[in-house]
Structure 1
Amino acid sequence: MTRALYDFQLDPLLLTALREDLGQAGDLTTDATVRPEDRARGRFNVRAAGRVAGMDIVRRTFALLDERVSVTAHHEDGADVAAGTCVATVEGPARAVLTGERVALNLLARLSAIATVTAQAVALAAPHGCHIACTRKTTPGLRGLEKYAVAVGGGTNHRFGLNDGVLIKDNHIVVAGGVEAALTRARQTLGHMVKIEVEVDTLDQLDAVLALGLADAVLLDNMGPDVLRDAVARVDGRLTTEASGGITLANLADVAATGVNLVSLGFLTHSVPALDIGLDFEVL
């Protein structure tokens, strides 16, 4: 079960995207070639297998342009579909359907790609009891949507921003004057509801974190499987263990097998190629 996408969350993002596309003059091509009374039907056809994410975005994009446009979803978010599948049909005034086509397709293709790759990662990690998480390496302005797509893919969301969790990274440690100073100040400053995670890239740093006893989770950065296995043994269940850095679908299963609780993957949101989806029209 993934969280809902509400209209009040979607509308500012979609209006920004539509304004970007329409500018001051509107859709010159459509307005010049299509009559106001014309109607059209379009089919969202998936041209490569994947997991659907973003159907509410498709509905809302067209509704913002013209409430007379109807969208019928044949496969809702979370559905795994084969190449050649029609996932939705849009029907209504042709001008609105043509004008909203690109915004709807761009977001549906991007979110479906994120959900698809996340599902692949989850399938590799799950047999080892390991969870998959995303990062803050998201498209500016689209973080909420992209993290939603990760959840549709079966992954878990890392912090949404700097304000909903503490992750003390290597640069924080350098500026603070060491891991002990950083952790001590953080624990003294934060309330009891805020968890603290700290990044380490050596076993010696991990030992220092464990000796302090002030962290709730540890990010094991850029460690190979053998070192990760040693790190998990040293932690011995006292902290949540997260592996990150240099992990791909090719080596993910080996990392998950080390016993870490979760693996965070930046590529889920920063570099997945869009799922190939097209909108094919017919005149009514």
Structure 2
Amino acid sequence: MGENYQVGQNETRVQEFILLTFTGSLHLRIFIFPLFLIMYILAISGNLAIIILVLSNGRLHTVMYYLLCNLSFLEIWYTTTTIPKTLPVLLGRSQSISFTGCLLQMYFSYSFGCIEYFLLAIMAYDRYVAICHPLRYNTIMDISLSGKLAVSSWLGGFIILSAPAFLIARLSFCGPNVINHFLCSVDAWIVLSCSETHAIEMAIFLIAVFVIFSSFSVTLLSYIYIVSTILHISSTNSLQKAFSTCSSHFAVVVIWYGSTIFLFVKPSKSRSLETTKTVNILNIIVTPVLNPFIYTLRNKEVREAFRSSLHLK
């Protein structure tokens, strides 16, 4: 693979990597290919449908659904950072990815992950205000504040990963350039690098702790107050309405946190890449597929808006 390296006076620099996707025969990868393709199509179409439904239905022009549109838009880009490249690789084609392309894929996928943590925390706070302070909701969570919070989430996710991306870009690769994964991840680069990676591992760990702890704290406190308020509601109808407004978001929170904490907290050489690949499937493919169905099936307003759109057609 001489073309994969650039030879300088004192060093050899990898110019591209080879993605192996999953270990096993070509027949196994061909079997996996349609599953990935179907889930990718479902993720894109499902989240796009949510965005179109919210934008086209006046009853859904509220802060809650504005934030949901942000989440759906994020999911589209989050899964698109990796799956279009993974599909041909599964068929044994275009297995190479440039150094820059791999770095960009890694940067955007981790940035989108951070943004999702922030958005879910904002959505939890929105539900807290709606349920615990209903009379002040329109004053506190107006479209201006929600817009600022959403923009801050997007900017924060991109900015916070800039420093580790710079450090990762400076890693040296003196040996193999084969990545035992279906995407470019920090784990894979750490395994292949011949540089000292302690600083990068520590930077990623600290960022993960900050992002997860801060977003989880807001989410947890919001739901503690929500549950406390719900338990004091005597009216059955009010209780059902309060539960309906936050159950979809809570389900998404559980799925997202369950599948990502493992990936963000400790990227190291000791972790099994096979295990990492399995968890990556959950948060990059499965979660974006499930989110639209969760919000559609568990949210009465979205179901009614969907039925209304179908009836108009």
Q: TM-score, normalised by structure 2?
A: 0.22
The answer to which structure has the higher helix fraction is 2
> Who wins on radius of gyration, i.e. which is larger?
1
Q: TM-score, normalised by structure 1?
A: 0.24
Which structure has more RCO (C-alpha within 8 Å, separation ≥ 6)?
2
The answer to which structure has the higher strand fraction is 1
